[in-house]
Structure 1
């Protein structure tokens, strides 16, 4: 005689899936922080190259520094939001109030922010040759 299916809240695969999603968000946040650090240090690298070649003070806008800092800050926000959402989801699963099929607002907001940053960088690269 087959056993009846467990409620979603008691199925351990649901909790494992929630943990995998949480870890994917943490990876995304760490990636953003790593890219932000590299972008901010790239401006320093360009200043050093310019100073070594021309022996003149390097002219800089500081754009790479601030865009790198913003990416690092965005990575921190993504990680903190991931922790908050993970605790919230586990609590919903434990209490039985979880509803399937909800759109992840966090993912949509992150996608829109990164798309806007990409458009801004594209415009910058076209204007500054």
Structure 2
């Protein structure tokens, strides 16, 4: 338990919590990159299956490649943002300028981007039946 005269920013548990949050963001970025890689390679797999079943050239839109690349790029952006935010948070905690209760803009933006990607994929899947 922190000493009442000691600010919360001096409690080591606060730094450990910041470290756990940083690692969770890194895990999220790595997950996005892994899913992006799988999505882009799945398109290649489908083209190979189509080519093996028929002698016609495979008809593709290249959407899986580009959506996979975008997911990998989003994962890289999440990881870089996590590193930047972690350094910023540690500096704020060390200097005593940290303010509790601030909304994580990075989390909100990531959530909105992934929701938009989900809606776009659902619309695409309904249109290609």
TM-score range, shorter chain: over 0.9
What is the DSSP-based 3-state SS (H/G/I as helix, E as strand, rest coil) of the residue aligned with 1:97?
A: coil
Report deviation, 1:9.
1.3
Moved over 4 A (4+): none
- For these two proteins, the number of residue pairs brought into alignment is 129
TM-score normalised to the size of structure 2? Answer: 0.97
Distance 2:99 2:3 in 1: 24
Report deviation, 1:4.
3.5
Distance 1:61 1:3 in 2: 62
TM-score normalised to the size of structure 1? Answer: 0.97
The CA deviation string for residues 28-86 of structure 1, in whole angstroms up to 9 with x for no partner, is 00000000000000000000000000021101100000000000000000000000000
Report deviation, 1:2.
10
The root-mean-square deviation of aligned C-alpha atoms, in Å, is 1.7
Cα gap change, 1:50 to 1:8, in 2 (>3 Å): same
Cα gap change, 1:50 to 1:12, in 2 (>3 Å): same
Give the gaps of 5 or more residues in structure 1: none
Report deviation, 1:5.
5.2
The CA deviation string for residues 95-120 of structure 1, in whole angstroms up to 9 with x for no partner, is 00000000000000000000000000
Give the gaps of 5 or more residues in structure 2: none
Partner of 1:35: 35
Distance 2:18 2:11 in 1: 12
Cα gap change, 1:59 to 1:16, in 2 (>3 Å): same
